[in-house]
Amino acid sequence: MDYRRTYRSAAVSFADLVSRLPADRWDSPGLGEWTLRELVGHTVSSALRQVPGVLASTSETVSVDTPQGYWAYARSAPPALYAAAVAASTDDAREAGRWLGDEAADRVSDLAGKATSALAAVRDHDIVATPVGGMAVCDWIPTRTFELVVHGLDIAAAGGVSFAIAAEAETEALVLAARIASATGDGTQVLRALTGRARLPENFSVV
């Protein structure tokens, strides 16, 4: 799979999704304690708005060398650090949701264009400074595609609309989810569930 193409297709699908969200659903429940607006804000911030800045940065060394390692790092963080990161993410989601205002569709479309343009300007193995440390572009961008696909599904469900995901973007996200499960010690459990041998625990998540 071409990680550049899957990111672009996910960004385009996400922009289309946001343009079709009903105006009267934005303040309704989204995911967990987030409203739909905050959920969109979180996704926009993490998967689109930060991308040009990260891709313009440089790092001397690689701290995380796989997409699944990015998510495994979050799972292994000390509880206090993880709690602080969750709180910061919620504050950011609310700020980004407010920033979208009544022009959400136009702003998301603009951000998607800026993010994909920034991606076109870097090389696969350029090392950039991500929130978890230095990563190659080709390893970090799939984590952003994963955010767009997974939260796109969350947003579509909360907004009561469809979400047309390109098959290659859906496949990339599925493969990454399996790799995250393996990297965090849940691989056997997930494989047994996917093949009908067992059930996953309630509220199980690979991230």
**Facing residues of 129 across strands?**
134
CA 68: distance to chain centroid? 12
CATH (one of 2.60.40, 1.20.120, 1.10.3470, 1.10.150) for 3-194: 1.20.120
In this predicted model, which residue has the larger pLDDT, 87 or 17? Answer: 17
Percent of the chain topping pLDDT 70: 100
For the segment 131-155, the average pLDDT, to the nearest whole number, is 97
Write down how long the chain is: 207
- Quick one: how many helices (H) and strands (E) in the chain? 9, 4
Return the pLDDT at 116: 98
Q: How far apart are CA 7 and CA 144, in angstroms?
A: 7
pLDDT in tens, 18-76: 999 999 999 999 999 999 999 999 999 999 999 999 999 999 999 999 999 999 988 77
* Mean pLDDT, residues 136-148 taken together: 98
Q: Give the C-alpha separation, 17 to 162, whole Å.
A: 8
The number of angstroms, rounded, from the C-alpha of 13 to the middle of its chain's C-alpha atoms is 13
What ranges do the domains of the chain cover?
3-194
